Amino acid sequence: MAIGTVGSSLEDILFLGLSYNFLNGSISEDIGKLKAVTTLDLSNNQLSGSIPSSIGGLKNVVQLSLANHNLQGPIPSSFGELVSLGDLVLSKNNLSGLISKSLEAPSQVSEFVFQHTPRRNSNRRTFSKPLL
C-alpha cells in the first residue's frame, strides 16, 4: 500500500496515525493538504524517497513522526514553516543537511529526535528544550 493523493475530504482530519501499516513508496506532495492535522504519525513503515517540501503546509501539526523508513536527502527548509510543531521525530532514516534555524525559536520544537543515522558517531541525537 502506498500513500496516495490526499483528497479534499481529508483536509479536516486532526489526527492521522498510520504507523506499522506496511506503507511503501514515497510521501506525496499532497501531504501538505492536511491543513487541520495536529498529529501525524507515519513511523515504522517502508517509505522511501525524500520528504516533500509541501510538508510545510501542515501549519497546525504539533507532533510529527517520520521515523524508521528509508527516507533520504535533505531535511526540507519548509520545516521552519511548521509554526505549531512541538515534537519532531526523524530517527532511523538517511537524511542529510541542516535543521531550519527557525525551529530553534522559543515557541518551536520542544523535542527533536534524530537517531541511528549512518553519518553520526552516536546512536542517538536528541535536542530538547523546555516549553515557554
pLDDT tens, per residue, the chain with 132 residues: 455 554 556 788 999 999 999 999 999 999 999 999 999 999 999 999 999 999 999 999 999 999 999 999 988 989 889 889 988 899 999 988 777 776 665 455 666 666 655 544 334 444 444 333
Helix (H, G, I), strand (E, B) or coil at 78: helix
Domains of the chain with bracketed CATH: 8-128 (3.80.10.10)
Q: What pLDDT was estimated at residue 102?
A: 67
How far is 44 from 97, CA to CA, in rounded Å? 22
- Residue type (1 letter), 66: L
How far is 95 from 5, CA to CA, in rounded Å? 24
Predicted TM-score of the model (pTM) = 0.77
Q: What pLDDT was estimated at residue 103?
A: 65
Q: What pLDDT was estimated at residue 120?
A: 42
Q: What pLDDT was estimated at residue 11?
A: 82
Cell 493538504 belongs to which residue? 33
Helix (H, G, I), strand (E, B) or coil at 26: coil
Instruction: Tally Cβ neighbours within 10 Å of residue 53.
Output: 15
